[in-house]
Chain A
Amino acid sequence: MSESRTSMSDWTRKTGAELADALAAGETTSVELTQAHLDRIAAVEGAIHAFLHVDAAGALAQAAESDARRSDGDLRSPLDGVPIAVKDILTTTGLPTTCGSKILEGWIPPYDATVVTKLKDAGLPILGKTNMDEFAMGSSTEHSAYGPTHNPWDLDRIPGGSGGGSAAAVAAFEAPIALGTDTGGSIRQPGAVTGTVGVKPTYGGISRYGLVAMANSLDQVGPVTRTVLDSALLHEIVGGHDPRDSTSVDPPLPALVEAAPQGATGDRSGVRVGVITELGREASAGSGWQAGVLARFQESLDLLVEAGAEVVEVSCPNFVHALAAYYLIMPSEASSNLAKFDAMRYGLRVVPEGDPSAEDVMRASRDAGFGDEVKRRIILGTYALSSGYYDAYYGQAQKVRTLIGRDFDAAFEQVDVLVSPTAPTTAFKLGEKLDDPVAMYLNDLATIPANLAGVPGISLPSGLADEDGLPAGFQVLAPALADDRLYRVGAALEALLEKKWGGAILDRAPELKGADA
């Protein structure tokens, strides 16, 4: 009895790749390890609130199917039988998809997102849907209409956003791996503040069909995991061309899974690493860059140099305008994308007194269904797109986008990858920035340029900041379609840091109350 309890709780500490190996070796079943994660969810969700919906019955049924396939020798992917959590912005048949919004409360989509279809085809049981800032608008998950998610490192702090639910679920060992989406950093910044790994792939590398759009020219689905290898495994499963997404790219993905072990064990000499001058290098008091974050970043750079990498500083002068361009382009696209929530075909309908017209119903429904941040961004976007302001705001932002792309092009002529700290600070306190939108937006400073240019990026933990003992993130950016470089350099640094810290950074997170002792 006590023996099985121990082994159950142990399964939740394993990575996706380790679980796949254990399944292959016949040491466990998908049902057993799916149940272990459901038990962990039951034990810690009261403290974390990473999930909006948990689908125990569905996950166990998918797990049983995986076990049956395995006994027939008919496996569908390297992660067949490994459970996963999915951000609630990806449509799922039979499971609610709310995007963290009241306007979609209880909505059950009639179709699966392509990435969800791919997970099902690959045999990954879906544990449930994870919490997020409403329609992915936020950097703290506090803008969820269903209450915030808490950071497993310190329950009084934010788990990042918008994908705080996926990151916290993985950091709290409720799920071995998860899917997120990243429009301006919503995978990478939560990864940084929870001590997990998050990847924003090349724009177009993973289908957006069934991803409820916030800013469609910036949104991208990506992996949320505890190791670089797990991200590569998941990326290969959900990536690739999709005829249902006209912005999906045709060239096949480079080999990602083999890049990780090559990076971890291979020769790192000759890798050219560019440190972006504009992101934290010229930090001074009051600049918003936390000393402990910068210290861990420098330490990681030193490790790469010791391992033979060539580190140079590269200036991307237009990055200083990236935040402004992003906070015009994103709300502009969002104001257009969210026009579809009109209370006519699906979602909340509020009917005012009297004999209201369809427009009256739209106005009342959108007021009742959208939260403050969503309203702010829709109105800001409407402003930036309106005649008289279009050229000065949206038009200029689009030009800056061109300049940022040129900065990346010039930089990647000199170096193989660019690096920076992922976020300027470690996790801040819940409520601290809720009433100050601009302070909240500054969290995305280092992650936004990649979205504007469509290039891929990864965040991995660089260690714990001295002043607060909380995790900091290290970001690696690569040229479009060269996602394999993220995994090669990311796995190299992960291995070097693991040696330095004597194990994974996440192993240093405090044990959660209510969890199995």
Chain B
Amino acid sequence: MPEITRQEVEHLADLARIDLSDAELDQIAPQLSVILESVASIKEAAADDIAPTSHALPLTNVFREDVVVPGLTAEQALSGAPEVDQQRFSVPRILGEEA
């Protein structure tokens, strides 16, 4: 059966940018193993020559007229921002200490 280790969950949480506590890691790792076991049959469910479906609709290249339409004002776009500075989103530093 597919086993997913605590270390793997920690790595996945890191990729997903979620700080999980030790207690959460202890809880989620075994739960994910059970979930993966319950979906393991998928590996044998379809032959190699079956094409994948990513979407139920056969739509490709949906175009629209290239015309100017009103968008959000700066004030509206910033209305939910945690922090605003000079009509811009203010964010924490994005470079490492050593940079």
Q: A367-B20, A452-B56 are in contact. Are A345 and B93 (CB under 8 A)?
A: no
For A383, give its contact among B4, B45, B56 (CB under 8 Å).
B4
Tell me which residues across on chain A come within 8 A of B82, comparing CB atoms.
Answer: 343-344, 346-349
Tell me which residues across on chain B come within 8 A of A367, comparing CB atoms.
Answer: 18-21, 24
For B38, give its contact among A360, A393, A397, A438 (CB under 8 Å).
A438
For A358, give its contact among B15, B35, B92 (CB under 8 Å).
B92
Judge whether B18 and A110 touch: CB under 8 Å: no
For B35, give its contact among A339, A402, A437 (CB under 8 Å).
A437
Tell me which residues across on chain A come within 8 A of B95, comparing CB atoms.
Answer: 357
Judge whether B15 and A396 touch: CB under 8 Å: no
Most central of B34, B53, B80 by chain A CB within 10 Å: B53
Q: In angstroms, how far is the closest chain A Cβ from the Cβ of B77?
A: 7
Tell me which residues across on chain B come within 8 A of A249, comparing CB atoms.
Answer: 57, 59
Judge whether B56 and A324 touch: CB under 8 Å: no
For B46, give its contact among A243, A399, A438 (CB under 8 Å).
A399
Tell me which residues across on chain A come within 8 A of B38, comparing CB atoms.
Answer: 324, 327, 438, 441
A304 to B85, CA, bound (A): 65
Judge whether A402 and B51 touch: CB under 8 Å: yes
Q: In angstroms, how far is the closest chain B Cβ from the Cβ of A412?
A: 14
Q: A398-B52, A452-B56 are in contact. Are A345 and B42 (CB under 8 A)?
A: no
Tell me which residues across on chain A come within 8 A of B24, comparing CB atoms.
Answer: 367, 372, 375
A411 to B25, CA, bound (A): 44
For residue A364, which residue of chain B has the nearest CB? B19
Q: A344-B91, A402-B46 are in contact. Are A363 and B56 (CB under 8 A)?
A: no
Question: Would you call A6 an interface residue if the criterion is a C-beta within 8 Å of the partner chain's C-beta atoms?
Answer: no
Tell me which residues across on chain A come within 8 A of B31, comparing CB atoms.
Answer: 376, 437
The B-contacting residues of A in range 305-360, CB under 8 angstroms, are: 318, 321, 323-325, 327-328, 335, 339, 342-349, 351, 355-360
Tell me which residues across on chain A come within 8 A of B55, comparing CB atoms.
Answer: 217, 247
What does DSSP make chain A's interface, helix, strand, loop or mixed? helix
A111 to B73, CA, bound (A): 11
Question: Would you call A49 an interface residue if the criterion is a C-beta within 8 Å of the partner chain's C-beta atoms?
Answer: no
**B interface bracket (residues with beta carbon within 8 Å of A):** 35 or more
Q: In angstroms, how far is the closest chain A Cβ from the Cβ of B72?
A: 5
A186 to B59, CA, bound (A): 25
Question: Would you call B83 an interface residue if the criterion is a C-beta within 8 Å of the partner chain's C-beta atoms?
Answer: yes
Judge whether B56 and A396 touch: CB under 8 Å: no
Tell me which residues across on chain B come within 8 A of A386, comparing CB atoms.
Answer: 12, 15
A197 to B4, CA, bound (A): 40
For A378, give its contact among B18, B43, B89 (CB under 8 Å).
B18
Contact with B along A53-89 (1 / 0, CB 8 A): 0000000000000000000000000000000000000
Q: A217-B54, A346-B80, A361-B92 are in contact. Are A379 and B9 (CB under 8 A)?
A: yes
For residue A395, which residue of chain B has the nearest CB? B52
Question: Would you call A43 an interface residue if the criterion is a C-beta within 8 Å of the partner chain's C-beta atoms?
Answer: no
Q: In angstroms, how far is the closest chain B Cβ from the Cβ of A340?
A: 12
Contact with A along B1-30 (1 / 0, CB 8 A): 000100011001101111111001001100
Most central of A110, A204, A339, A347 by chain B CB within 10 Å: A110
Question: Would you call B66 an interface residue if the criterion is a C-beta within 8 Å of the partner chain's C-beta atoms?
Answer: no
Judge whether A217 and B12 touch: CB under 8 Å: no
A323 to B42, CA, bound (A): 10
A343 to B91, CA, bound (A): 9
For residue B90, which residue of chain A has the nearest CB? A344
State the B residues within 8 Å of A (CB): 4, 8-9, 12-13, 15-21, 24, 27-28, 31-32, 34-36, 38-43, 45-47, 50-57, 59, 62, 64, 72, 76-77, 79-83, 89, 91-97
Q: Give 13 CB contacts A-B under 8 Å.
A: A110-B79, A111-B76, A247-B55, A324-B40, A346-B80, A358-B91, A358-B94, A366-B17, A367-B20, A372-B24, A396-B42, A400-B45, A437-B31
Q: Which 3 A-B pairs have the closest CB atoms?
A: A454-B56, A346-B80, A398-B52
A-B contact sample (15 more), CB < 8 A, given A243-B64, A347-B82, A400-B42: A324-B42, A339-B16, A342-B17, A358-B91, A359-B17, A367-B20, A375-B24, A376-B28, A396-B45, A399-B53, A401-B52, A405-B53, A405-B56, A454-B57, A480-B56
